[in-house]
Amino acid sequence: MKEKRIQKITLLIAFFVPVFIASFLRFWDIGLRPFHSDEGVNSFFLLNLFDRNYYHYDPANYHGPFLYYIGLIPFYLFGISDFTFRLMPALFGVMIVALFFPLRRRLGTMGLLTTGLLVAISPANAFFSRDTIHEIYLVFFSLAVVVSFFLYTETKKSRYIYFAATSIAFVITIKETYILTFAVYALSLAFAYCYEMISLSKGVRFLYCKDTFTAFANHCKKNRYAVGISVGILILITFLFYSSFFTYYSGIKSILTTLKIWTKTGTHSGGHTKPFFYYFKLLYKFEFPTLALGIAGFYYSFRHGNKFTVFIAAWAILIYVTYSLIPYKTPWLILNILLPLSIMGGIFVNSIFGMMKEKWHYAIFYPLFIGIFGFSCYQSLMLNFNNYDDERYELVYVQTKRDIYNLLDRLKSLSNTCGQNMAINVVSREYWPLPWYLREYKNAKFWGGIIENPNAPVIIVDKTSETELKKKLKGNYKKERFALRPGVWLTAYIQQGLYETGFGKEITAKTNTPSLAKISEKELERGLIAKYYYNIECIGTPFSSRVEKDSVSFIYNDETKKPYRSPFGIEWEGYLSITQKGVYQFATRSDDGSVVYIDGNMVVDNDDIHATRYISGVIPLDEGFHPVRIKYFDGGGGAIMEFLWTPPGEKESLVPGQILFHKR
């Protein structure tokens, strides 16, 4: 009796611990990461459905209808917010972990705990469960199909036929890649039965094959009503979603059309083409415990396995090969590979745990077990709460930069001056997810390009259209630049009067250079004061501030070697010691922009986004200390900055740290 109670408690721990961890990693500060551009598009369709009751499925446009209809539930219950928009994928991310519980007899208690932890703590699973995209729903219902099938083989209860049919229907309504999932399932199931048949003696194989088909036919006959109802459920759910609940019957025709369109997308993938081993590299870098334990599980499955373990092994191998062969690759597709690998890892750990007898076995096992998952937990925490927009981490893919929050803060400051009814013309060709964030600004218009009269209190334009915009501007504007996502830059043009009203104090602080009055060396210390910002305009509060005594010089040609995520800006300020009167040349060699001010005058203008570029300027200087301010920003890719000078009669070199000072 006591032993059964202990087993029950252990089983509950194996279930609830992963569920609790999954809940924390998916729900905590869920609005921290800016919306991905795909989320911006999805939010547009969802808001249309919520506000105007309008959604029509388009086979060429952003996958199936399930995401939008399931997303209505939290909107109706709790209102519109970042949290409610991301609530359902986070919830389904937790439900994936909970859905392993019905497989507890096949996984074992330790297998259930291991599989649950592998998915709960997985950096990729946690990361994409915090995104409102289709993949997490696809993974949940794909698992539900497998669970329903094997529960039926155990119990022969018809309700699992209904569960399977419902899950299959939802898979079809989520994403066109359902065809790959079902093909892999069919092949894996066939392989599992064939593997079991081959393990038998030759004389029994034919009888086994015959009995298998006979049993299948008998089950279909016995449960013909359940099968018929299940087919009806499948058709009804598919019809309801694709017809927009009987309001758009053309959506039904598109179920097959989408396969043709997305077959072309998968094979002609443009900028999303990746090499065959792309997913393996992601697994190795971010999901090594799952990869290692999953591979170890293959050995166990084929050596000691049954139909279930062989099916899972075949599923893992086939889904990996299938997605790796398709040229179109994005990091969230790795979730389809991680699911069976995690189950394989659980099967392997459970088998190892079952073989342990001695105390020293446990003394080795438990620290190793805790260490593995502790490392994964650290990776997951860093990715989801610190590096979530840092493209040096390959799971972060064309992610909106947190610099967008700086843009929103600037607009909020302006709206405090003239109200949220101020006109905002967004004439950028790239702007997602701004429609979501600017939904409260009733006069924010998204034109998709330069219009005949773009003038407004605030104009937002992308870098590629900026030259065309300048030709049509009337009046004086101040501009600030912001990173939307890698390779996409937005410039906010703000009418000068509004800018000065909204940011007057800040302008005064920024334009106040150190005093031009004579200053003695006793008042100074070596080095410039350097302030580091996670934006290119060096606005707001710096994330780091320190005195730097060396020359201003660094070269990071490799994105992964940079000490800070992009975009970042640096502002150095202090005094330049000049010991010889004359005309001096100053220069910067930088990637991206840099400017140099001496005595309050711009001497070097090497600003804007560009590859490595050298720009110089000259200024006459007297002996003494001269205020100097240097600004630099990096927008992505390489980060290079060199502050150079050519004193009278000398060769060009880095400005030495010995002549750079700051006020005590």
- Helices 288-304, 334-355: inter-axial angle, 10-degree rounding: 60
**Is residue 212 scored above 70 in pLDDT?**
no
Q: Are residues 377 and 426 in the same domain?
A: no
| Residues facing residue 653 across a β-bridge | 645
Q: What is the pLDDT of residue 537?
A: 84
pLDDT surpasses 90 at 102? yes
Whichever domain contains 629, its CATH number is 2.60.120.1560
Give the structural domain span for 312. Answer: 2-205+224-385
In this structure, the answer to whether residues 254 and 340 fall within a common structural domain is yes
The half-sphere exposure of 134 on its side-chain side, counting CA atoms within 13 A, is 24
Condensed to tens digits (0 to 9), the pLDDT of residues 580-592 reads: 889 999 999 998 8
Of 508, 528, 556, the one marking the end of a domain is 508
- Region 481-500: mean pLDDT is 89
Let me know: does 195 contact 310? Beta carbons within 8 Å. yes
**Nearest partner of 26 among 165, 126, 171, judged by Cα:** 126
Domain-embedded: residue 218 = no
Point out which residues pair with 639 in neighbouring strands: 556
Pinpoint the alpha helices (H) of 28-81: 37-52, 66-78
Instruction: Name the percent of the chain lying above pLDDT 90.
Output: 52
pLDDT at 412 over 60: yes
Range in 252-266, 341-355, 548-562 the model is least confident about: 252-266
Q: Which of 508, 533, 563 is the last residue of a domain?
A: 508
355 CB contacts (<8 Å, ≥6 apart)?
none
Please report which confidence band the pLDDT of residue 7 belongs to, taking 50, 70 and 90 as the band edges.
confident
Residues 454 and 543 in one domain: no
| Inside any domain, residue 391 | no
- Which residue, 475, 508, 541, sits at the end of a domain? 508
Nearest to 389 by CA among 593, 534, 545: 534
Per residue in 157-177, pLDDT (tens digit) is 888 989 999 999 999 999 888
One domain for residues 651 and 545: yes
Same domain for 155 and 296?
A: yes
Output the pTM of the full model: 0.87
The Cα–Cα gap between 358 and 237 comes to 54
Digit-coded pLDDT (tens) for 629-644: 999 998 888 889 999 9
pLDDT digits (tens, 9 = 90+) for 104-157: 999 999 999 999 999 999 999 999 999 999 999 999 999 999 999 999 888 888
Same domain, 490 and 529: no
Mean pLDDT (the chain, rounded): 88
The tally of CA atoms less than 13 A away on the side-chain side of residue 631 is 18
- By three-state DSSP, how is residue 467 classified? helix
- Same structural domain for residues 518 and 504? no
Q: Which long-range contacts (CB under 8 A, 24 or more apart) does 154-159 make?
A: 154/105, 156/219, 158/223, 158/226
- The bridge status of strand 639-646 relative to strand 653-654 is antiparallel
Contacts 24+ apart (CB under 8 A), 69-76: 69/241, 70/137, 71/42, 71/46, 71/132, 72/46, 75/46, 75/50, 76/50
Is residue 245 a part of any domain in this protein?
yes
Structural domains in the chain (count): 3
Long-range contacts (CB closer than 8 Å, 24 or more residues apart) made by 596-603: 596/628, 596/629, 596/630, 596/643, 597/513, 597/627, 597/628, 597/629, 597/630, 598/626, 598/627, 598/628, 599/513, 599/516, 599/626, 599/627, 600/513, 600/516, 600/627
> Average pLDDT, stretch 346-372?
86
User: Do β-strands 458-462 and 424-426 pair in parallel, antiparallel, or remain unpaired?
Assistant: parallel
Is 394 part of a structural domain of the chain?
Answer: no
